[in-house]
Structure formats: structure tokens, C-alpha cells
Amino acid sequence: MLTRELVLPGGARSRVLSCSKDLEPGVRAMLLLDEDLFRLDVMIVGDTLQSFVRNLTIGELEVSGEVGQPRVATTTLGLAARYAPGRADLRFAVGPEDDRVVTEVTIATLRFGDRGAIRVSAQGIVRRG
Amino acid sequence: MGRGRGVTRAVTDTVVISGATAVASGDAEPAPLLALLALIDVAVADRGTGPELTIHNPTGSPLRIAVEGVGDISIPPARSAVVPLRAEPGGPRLHLQALSTARSAVVTVTVTVEPSGDGPVAVGQAIGALTC
């Protein structure tokens, strides 16, 4: 996993997390971790990608009602269609009421049928609310 | 679970690009694999020492890149850098994060090289998003 700090316009701080793993169907694996905030696991079941957010804060976990409907453009180039590219999106907030942190995650997948694996890549942008 | 305070801001300008191409070999020009947000161009070749990515910065400002297992590199405007894929149990692989301060955007790129009946194929996927 790669983690980098960002300084947003106006001086606010943010963080970008990313990870990529090859998973077998039915295997649950950690994808993103912010040790103070959350852990995101995923599991592929059939054609479904299941996500699990573990809240590591004392505040409530709230998941966006807009999941699956963000403005995301997808493009497939060259031979990539043979690997059945897909994507999913997740947005959630954690942390105490006076210090909420919002994380937007985009997950991209590719299927490698010959070796029975699915590559799952994720990028999460963590922002103070 | 309900809609949380601060969770309702729309995601804007997020993009997922998937690309696959035969790996260029020998003296051939690197084969274009991914191009994203006019922010980063990725091509792949194998000159006999293993697959490597040519990462081009088409922007007018430095592109800061973190490469898993390698470290940080910076590519000047309109320049390129060559990064070899890492040998891993599942095959050659590279995972990087590119950050453009000029465009307030971040891109995650993952590339592997897969065997095929037609020779090695580079399979890449990029996730890009604005950070502002």
C-alpha cells in the first residue's frame, strides 16, 4: 500500500491511499488501512465485490447514500476488454462529531480467468470534513 | 446507516482507465498502455532485461511519483522516466501513485505482465481523481 500526504488549496491536509492485490474468489483481504481511522477489506463473490469498513474511531461510521452513482468515467483501451474491467465506489465518514473525516474510495477490478484471480486496485482520498 | 454529515459532496472527475497491450520488445518503441487526464502517459517495453514502464509527464510542472518498493521519483515537465517492473511471485508488477500539484490530481496505476499465446501482455489499470 502507498500512502501520501497532500496539501489541498487553502492549506487543508489530505491523504491518498492506494493498493493493488490479486485475489481469489471468496477470499477476504485488506485493501486500505488508515491506522487512526478505518480498515477497508474486500471480497469477490461471483460477480459481486463486497466491501467491509471497520471503524477504528470512537465516532459513528456513516456510509454515503450515493454509493454507485458518483461521476466516474471509465475507458477501456487495447486488449483490456478480455480482462473484464470493472469498478466500484465507496464513500464514508468516521471520527468524532467535531472532527469528521470523509474518505472517497474508487475500486477497479480486472479478471484473469486463466489463473482464477481478480486484481483489485483501490485509491482512497481521505479528507477532514 | 444513513447519509452522514459531510458525506454528501459529489464525487467529480474520477476516472478509471483499463489498458492492455503486447509488450514491445527489442528496439521497438515502448507500446502505449495508459494515458490519463493529460497527466500521465504510460508505455511498456522489454529490451531484454525484463519489462519496464516508460512514464511520461505531459504537464507543464513536475510530476511526483511514489513507486511501491522503489521510492519517490520526480519527472520534470515534458520528460520521461523508465521504471522496471518488480519481479513478484505472480509475475512482473508495478504499483505507483502520481501526484500533479499543477492539476490538483492524483492517479494510481497498477501494471502487470501476463503470459498469453501471443507473447507477454501488459495489463494496466489507472484510477484518477481530483484532489480539490
- pLDDT above 90 covers a percentage of chain A that reads 72
Mutate one of B1, B12, B18 to test the A interface: name it (highest A CB count within 10 A): B18
Phi/psi for A83 (5° steps) reads -105, 15
Q: Do B10 and A71 touch (CB under 8 A)?
A: yes
Least confident of A42-56, A59-73, B65-79: A59-73
Please state the pTM of the whole predicted model: 0.90
Which H or E run includes B85? none
- In one-letter notation, the amino acid at residue B60 is G
How do residues A48-66 score in pLDDT, each as one tens digit?
999 999 999 999 999 985 5
Distances (CA, A) of B94 to A20, A84, B30, B70: 9, 20, 16, 10
Q: Do B131 and A112 touch (CB under 8 A)?
A: no
**Which of chain A's residues have a Cβ under 8 Å away from the Cβ of B17?**
74-77
Phi/psi for A21 (5° steps) reads -140, 150
Residue B9 confidence (pLDDT): 43
Nearest to A51 by CA among A42, A39, A60: A42
> Which residues are bridge partners to B20 per DSSP?
A78, B123
**Which of chain B's residues have a Cβ under 8 Å away from the Cβ of A18?**
95, 97, 108, 127
Distances (CA, A) of B96 to A100, A123, B44, B71: 28, 11, 15, 9
